[in-house]
Amino acid sequence: MSFDFAAGHQGSTMTPSPTPPSRGRTTLDTVDIVVLVIYFLLVLAVGFWSMLRTKRSTVNGYFLAGKSMTWWPVGASLFASNIGSGHFIGLAGSGAAAGIGAIAYEWNGMLMVLLLGWLFLPIYISSGVTTMPEYLQRRFGGRRTQLFIAVLSLFIYIFTKISVDMYAGALFIQLALQWNIYLAIVVLLSITALYTVAGGLAAVIYTDAAQTAIMLAGALTLMGFSFAEVGGWDALMQGYADAIPSIRVPNSTCGIPRDDAFHLFRDPVTSDLPWPGVIIGMSIPSMWYWCSDQVIVQRSLAAKNLTHAKGGSLLAAYIKILPFFAIMLPGMISRILYTDEVACADPDQCKEICGNSVGCSDIAYAKLVMALLPAGLRGLMMAVMIAALMSSLTSIFNSASTIFTMDLWKSFRSRASEWELMIVGRVFVLVLVVVSVLWIPVVQASQGGQLFIYIQSISTYLQPPVSIIFLMGCLWKRTNEKGAFWGLAIGLVIGCIRMLLDFIYPTPLCFEEDDRPEVLKYVHYLYFSTLLSFITLVVVVVVSLATEEPEPEQISRLTWFTRFDPVKPKVQVFTVEQSMTTLGAVTNQTDETGVTETEPEGSNGKACHHRRDSASSVSSVQSQSKLMSALYWLCGMERQRQASDDPPPAPEPEPAAASLEEKPRLRRLVNVNLLICLSVTAFIIGYWA
């Protein structure tokens, strides 16, 4: 899920352990449970079907789905990975609390996902990388920038994305099923971990495609019921302005809808989302998420070629128009229909309604589902929320395991076999599941708007330096390792200082006086994002110009201007130990001329021992339990296991570099669609600006 949308909406708050709203149903009927069971069976069926379509026993097959994906599952997976359960809770809650301003994050994402397809992806594909930290290592050399980004990415995944999605999904499940939060999360994580561990990226992408269809069907259905209940578009426009709760704090703005609720661009000084910050300060963090975050880029790298990757970006951009109508507007309708609950403005009343004295806007979407929908459709919307949660978590799990395995594990185990990497990647998914469950109490303890403020801080204060590093690495050949590292380090230090100040001095409530330091009171976080990006850019340029130029191999096929450079043949370098291993493997084997080789001098009969060991290994393999055999089959690694006792093969040649060639007709087709999509985006932004 993208944590963009929630960043600036401090009126939209997460609520700990809510009690069910007072109106409407609070539990699911039997038919709803049947719909949920059918949904789970469908997801598992799609997951296991996709497992059989991909060679899961190789690094390329497990982490990049064999680079065989066509445009439609790639685009659907991009959308599903972005839209998490936090989107439904937070985006609808932001609409209820502050109007349509939050949708700027969604429509900004439309532009950024297109930038990924046409600017960044050709560079990533030509470089032949699997992870984004790996790209930085090839582009700048050294290891420190790669490890820096790898650890930072895992931190963001574990402590922000996973926590927000899990909490938002659990909030909805508690409301509908009255389940214990731990039981709900453990069940969901067990199912997601099953096909993520077993099937790799292929299973994640295909199940994401199924989840996207379910999410859109359910969300559009609820939109129809919501507009029918409120009385149409005109009733929404008028009713929102009049949706003032009956109990308010006197002489304050609490509970009063914003005058600019239906405006995307707002006052540059006094508003919650100043329009200059929306254009620049919002775009830089969004560029990190859409163009250099492993969760998103990994789906595009799994496409069979560049044209299909571009087609996936287009599909995701088109679908991202829908959350405005299917999530945000229903959230605003919920305020109209249930004003005293969703828009409560008295702290004591809010505490009684949803367990949060700050506000209850985050129950807006769940309130609609439980109060408006008939039996069966409530089960469908539960499936929608669970689909949003599972699709985001599986994407994060797979991408986090990819970064850990390919960037961290391989850094310390440079000679790790492909078999070892497969085991490590799968085990790390299980570790993430355990960490996710252990993190639940911390998420539950987040009071008021602190969780969303936390996500806002991460996105605004940690992402801009990373975006600048990738942007400069891709577009400026003179950028070197020292410039990138110090730009990243200084930018993150400044961002962390501002983040700590935000935690120390939280935003005051609507009836409280703002006595924060001036740097917080008068410098909006979107403006700070712009300033932080500029500081990072200056550091990168100055340090790069003051130090040595990058080596030719750090530029060729690694920037926009060198992406078509010819591929230089690489000489395979063998260590002494590798050479002796290969020599021992061919001992007593007959070469192509029929001459039988003898043991190497000084082997002391090791070949005989090797033959005896092999015989005993075969015996042990045959006696292995059926349970282990089934486990290996589930992971698609049975061939690897059986071959693990055989002599190690000679190192394989370096794979050929990916081609950027596109068929002229298909290239024209996606380029025409690019112009159409940009025109649509410009129109909707201009219409609501």
User: How large is the average pLDDT for residues 667-689?
Assistant: 93
Contact 654, 568 (CB under 8 A): no
The span from the CA of 139 to the CA of 553, in Å, is 8
pLDDT at 110: 93
Name which of 517, 396, 535 is nearest 461 in CA terms: 535
Q: Write down the mean pLDDT value for the chain.
A: 77
In this structure, are residues 117 and 71 in contact, taking their beta carbons and an 8 Å threshold?
no
Confidence of residue 642 (pLDDT cuts 50, 70, 90): very low
- The pLDDT of 573-579, averaged and rounded, is 43
Confidence of residue 64 (pLDDT cuts 50, 70, 90): low
Contact 610, 585 (CB under 8 A): no
User: Looking at the predicted structure, is the pLDDT value of residue 196 above 80?
Assistant: no
User: Highest mean pLDDT range out of 128-142, 190-204, 397-411?
Assistant: 128-142
- Highest mean pLDDT among 348-362, 383-397, 669-683 belongs to 669-683
Residue 668 pLDDT class (50, 70, 90 cuts): very high
Q: Print the SS3 string covering 450-467.
A: HHHHHHHHHHHHHHHHHH
Query: Could you give the CA distance from residue 441 to residue 433 in angstroms, rounded to a whole number?
Result: 15
In the three-class reduction of DSSP (H, G, I as helix; E, B as strand; rest coil), residue 11 is classed as: coil
Between 319 and 447, name the one with better pLDDT. 319
| Residue range 505-535, pLDDT digits in tens | 877 777 778 788 888 888 888 899 999 999 9
pLDDT score, position 271: 83
pLDDT at 63 exceeding the cut of 80? no
Mean pLDDT of 364-371: 86
558: confidence class by pLDDT, cuts 50, 70, 90: very high
Closest CA to 298 of 459, 106, 81: 81
**Distance between CA atoms of 370 and 132, rounded to whole angstroms?**
42
Between 528 and 83, whose confidence is greater? 528
Q: Is the pLDDT of residue 286 over 80?
A: yes
3-state helix, strand, coil in the chain (%, to 5): 70, 0, 30
pLDDT given at position 56: 52
Q: Decide if pLDDT at 653 tops 70.
A: no
Give me the pLDDT at residue 601, please. 42
Query: What is the distance between the alpha carbons of residues 91 and 328, in angstroms, rounded to a whole number?
Result: 6
| Residue 468 pLDDT level (bands cut at 50, 70, 90) | very high
Say yes or no to pLDDT of 175 above 60: yes
pLDDT at 1 over 60: no
Residue position matching structure tokens 């426009």: 237
Confidence of residue 330 (pLDDT cuts 50, 70, 90): very high
**Dihedral sign, CA of 297, 302, 305, 309?**
negative
Euclidean distance between CA atoms 662 and 346, whole angstroms: 60
More confident residue, 351 or 605: 351
Q: Are 20 and 356 in contact (CB under 8 A)?
A: no
Q: What is the dihedral of CA 662, 664, 665, 666, to 10 degrees?
A: 20
- Looking at beta carbons, which pairs linking 346-355 to residues 24 or more positions away fall under 8 Å? 346/245, 346/247, 346/248, 346/249, 346/254, 347/249, 349/247, 353/19, 353/21, 353/22, 354/15, 354/18, 354/19, 354/21, 355/15, 355/16, 355/17, 355/18, 355/19
Most confident of 249-263, 266-280, 411-425, 660-674: 660-674
User: What structural domains does the chain harbor?
Assistant: 30-451 (1.20.1730.10)
b/e burial code for range 232-268 (CB count within 10 A of at least 16 → b): eeeebeebbeebebeebeeeeebbebbebbbbbbbee
DSSP-derived 3-state class of residue 224:
helix
Strands (DSSP E) contained in 530-639 are none
The answer to whether residues 14 and 95 touch, using CB atoms and an 8 Å cutoff, is no
Q: What one-character DSSP code corresponds to residue 281?
A: I
Q: What is the dihedral of CA 534, 535, 537, 542, to 10 degrees?
A: 140
The predicted-structure confidence for 7-29, as pLDDT tens digits, reads as follows: 333 333 333 333 344 444 556 67
Cβ neighbours of residue 385 under 8 Å, at least 6 residues apart?
85, 88, 169, 172, 173
**pLDDT category of residue 55 using cuts at 50, 70 and 90:** low
DSSP letter (8 states) at residue 587:
T
Which pLDDT belongs to residue 333? 94
Q: How far is CA 131 from CA 5, 60, 142, 267, in A?
A: 25, 12, 16, 40
CA atoms of 24 and 670, how far apart (whole Å): 47
**Residue type for position 70:** T
Count Cβ atoms below 10 Å from residue 671 Cβ, excluding itself: 13
Question: Which tokens is 478 given?
Answer: 């003179």
Enumerate the H helices of 305-346 as residue ranges: 306-319, 322-323, 329-337, 339-342
| Closest-CA residue to 387 (of 171, 165, 176) | 165
DSSP letters for 355-395? S-SS--GGGHHHHHHHHHPPTTHHHHHHHHHHHHHHHHHHH
Q: Residue 640's pLDDT band (boundaries 50, 70, 90)? A: very low
Q: Could you tell me which residue, 14 or 48, shows the higher pLDDT? A: 48
pLDDT in tens, 588-613: 444 444 444 444 444 444 444 444 44
As given in the structure block, the two tokens for residue 679 are 């025109």
How crowded is the C-beta side of 503, counted as CA atoms within 13 Å? 13
Write the CA distances from 293 to 53, 97, 135, 339, 468, integer angstroms.
Answer: 26, 30, 12, 39, 13
Torsion of CA 218, 220, 222, 223, to 10 degrees: 170
Burial class (CB in 10 A: 0-12, 13-18, 19+), 304: middle
328 neighbors 102 (Cβ within 8 angstroms): yes
Do 81 and 296 form a contact (C-beta atoms < 8 A)? yes
Q: What is the pLDDT of residue 426?
A: 78
Strand partners, 596: 590
Q: CB within 8 A of 548, min separation 6: which ones?
A: 480
Residues above pLDDT 70, as percent of the chain = 74
Distance between CA atoms of residues 51 and 62, nearest Å: 10
Say whether pLDDT at 305 is over 80: yes
Q: Binning pLDDT at 50, 70 and 90, where does residue 580 land?
A: very low
Q: What is the pLDDT of residue 669?
A: 95
Tell me which range, 235-249, 291-305, 310-324, 352-366, is most confidently predicted by mean pLDDT. 310-324
DSSP per-residue letters across 157-200: IIIIIHHHHHHHHHHHHHHHH---HHHHHHHHHHHHHHHHHHHH
Q: Which has more pLDDT, 522 or 625? A: 522
Residue 641: what pLDDT? 44
Higher pLDDT, 45 or 169: 45
Bridge partners (DSSP) of residue 303 are 69
Contacts of 230 (CB under 8 A, 6+ apart): 236, 239, 333, 336, 337
Spatial contact of 624 and 43, defined as CB atoms under 8 Å apart: no
Taking only the tens place, the pLDDT of each residue in 200-251 is 677 778 887 888 888 888 899 999 999 999 999 999 998 998 888 888 777 6
Segment 19-41 mean pLDDT = 68
Q: What are phi and psi of 259, to 5 degrees?
A: -65, -30
615 has a pLDDT exceeding 70: no
Mean pLDDT of 625-638: 53
Among 52-66, 135-149, 260-274, 453-467, name the one with the lowest average pLDDT: 52-66
Say if CB 107 and CB 681 are below 8 A apart. yes
Range with the lowest mean pLDDT among 71-75, 452-456, 541-545, 668-672? Answer: 452-456
CA 419 to chain CA mean position, Å: 27
- Separation between Cα atoms, residue 61 and residue 41, nearest integer Å: 25
What would the pLDDT profile of 379-424 be if each residue is shown by its tens digit?
Answer: 888 888 777 777 777 778 878 888 888 888 888 887 878 778 878 8
Flag the least confident range among 30-39, 194-203, 320-329.
194-203
Higher pLDDT, 162 or 543: 543
Q: Give 558's DSSP letter.
A: T
pLDDT at 4 over 70: no
User: How far apart are the C-alpha atoms of 634 and 630, rounded to whole Å?
Assistant: 6
CA dist., res. 3 & res. 164, Å (int):
9
Only one residue has tokens 């935000």, namely 502
Question: What's the mean pLDDT in 64-87?
Answer: 82
Give the chain's length: 689
